Amino acid sequence: HIDDDTVVHEAAFWGKLNVLKWLKDHGFDLATKSKFDGETAAHKAAWMGHLHILKWLEKNGVDLAAKDRHGNTVLHEAAGHASDGQLKTLKWLVLEKKFDVNEADALGQTLAMDLAGNANLKPLKWLAEQGADLLAKDRLGKTAADHAAQFSDHGPKYRKVVKWLVEEKNVPVMAETGAVLLETESQESQEETLPVFCRYKGCSALLWAADKAKLAMYKLKGEWFAQTPSGVDAMLYAAKM
């Protein structure tokens, strides 16, 4: 939706500080919001990791806590990717500007979920060190591990994030998203990561059976098995059959 952005947004996006200064001197509103997403120039700068732009905008009256129509502040934008610039921006916002590491958008999606869903393990680990709640769930009941698992067929870096969250942080995975990972692993057979999902609560009996028996089968009569905290009795037998 680039057509909805103003020249102020574009200058911030591309990191053009001289252009922004010129625009300010000629009366342009630095805090203007885009028509479609309601983003400010600060959102654009944070997304691209332009920390110097973000600092300049703040000094010139742009509210870094302003939210777009999705409920995102610049903190969410800085968590969008894992470039060095964005990690520096993320650290500055958390450590110096005291943004809440558990901030959530309108859908209940946290920074940890954003980072996991983009397979950004390094900043995710750093965020966890700052007190991020990795067990938090969004409005659909998904954890950070779910946000990574649902894209596990996009490459091994997503599976690496899920493995870390589940094995080291005890973050549960829903049957639906876990099944995506199981199917991908069973097809590629790259490494033995299947058993990790059912060591913790939140795994369905059928998913456990698929894990143990390496079955590419996750539904019974078109329905997902209900999530259970433990127990694999009759369902386990049925799944193996």
Q: Residue 224: which H helix or E strand, with range?
A: strand 223-224
How many CB atoms within 10 Å of residue 214?
A: 12
Taking the CA of residue 113 as centre, how many other CA atoms within 13 Å lie in the half-sphere pointing to its CB?
21
User: What's the pLDDT score for residue 13?
Assistant: 95
Summarised one tens digit per residue, pLDDT across range 105-152 is: 999 999 999 999 989 999 999 999 999 999 999 999 999 999 998 887
pTM, 2 dp: 0.73
User: What's the pLDDT score for residue 2?
Assistant: 46
Q: Taking a C-beta distance cutoff of 8 angstroms, is the pair 62, 31 a contact?
A: yes
Give me the residues paired with residue 204 across strands.
227
* Structure tokens that stand for 64 in this block: 């870094």
Q: Residue 219: which H helix or E strand, with range?
A: strand 219-220
Q: Reduce the DSSP state of residue 88 to 3 states and report it.
A: helix
How many angstroms separate the CA atoms of 196 and 159, rounded?
A: 11
Rounded to the nearest 10 degrees, the angle between the axes of helix 84-91 and helix 121-129 is 10
